[in-house]
Amino acid sequence: MGKNILIISASPKKDGNTSLLVEWVAAAARSKGADVEILNAGTMAFKVSGCTACRACQKLKDYICVIEDEGKLVLQKMISAHVIVMATPLYFYGPSAQLKVIFDRMFSLYKWDNAAGTMRTPLKGKMLALVLSGFEDVGLDVVEKPFRMTADYTGMMFESLLVPNAGVSGEIRNKPGVKDLATAFGKKIA
């Protein structure tokens, strides 16, 4: 049985560059036997625009966010996935707001004991992957850094597919070699 891969696509555009990359990565991963689920953060209903720092999750035994919305379901799916792929366009040297909502609320998937200096998480040992496209070739490394650092802190493997000079929405399909890169990436994470 192949890996369980959860892809969180965070582009608000159905036919944009990020969506195309997600399609190519998912198809390649499926070709290697992976079970791939794609969730579109751009169409989810969120009660809040990120983690509210209520810390109620830290008082619970389970790794769960107390905010009742679709973001909570995404976080729960992360626990059972072998590979978590976060896909976003580059927006002002950051991920899209839709992805940032999920990324910040991952706080609920960690338990800290500050007195003992320990941290536990069900994400340890999994793979975190980033799929990122930018109109130009500037800023992709800036966006990659917090994802890489989170994986390192968490004890996750990390992979990234950074696609510079993707152009405006949908133009990526005409960029030579990009589909091949996405296909190779999908097979690698599977």
Of 17, 121, 122, 99, nearest to 50 (Cα)? 99
The per-residue pLDDT for 143 is 94
pTM equals 0.93
What is the sign of the dihedral through the CA atoms of 56, 44, 169 and 128?
A: positive
The per-residue pLDDT for 84 is 98
> Is the pLDDT reported for residue 24 higher than 90?
yes
Of 47, 119, 105, nearest to 77 (Cα)? 105
Determine the average pLDDT of the residues in 35-41.
94
Determine the average pLDDT of the residues in 79-96.
93
The per-residue pLDDT for 1 is 67
- Summarised one tens digit per residue, pLDDT across range 50-73 is 888 999 999 999 999 998 888 889
- Summarised one tens digit per residue, pLDDT across range 135-178 is 888 899 999 999 999 999 999 999 999 999 888 888 889 999 99
| Residues near 99 by beta carbon (within 8 Å), at least 6 away in sequence | 8, 10, 41, 86, 87, 88
Range of the domain at 181: 4-189
The domain spanning residue 44 has which CATH number? Answer: 3.40.50.360
**Domain count along the chain:** 1
The per-residue pLDDT for 14 is 81
Query: pLDDT above 90 covers what percent of the chain?
Result: 70
Return the SS3 of 113: strand
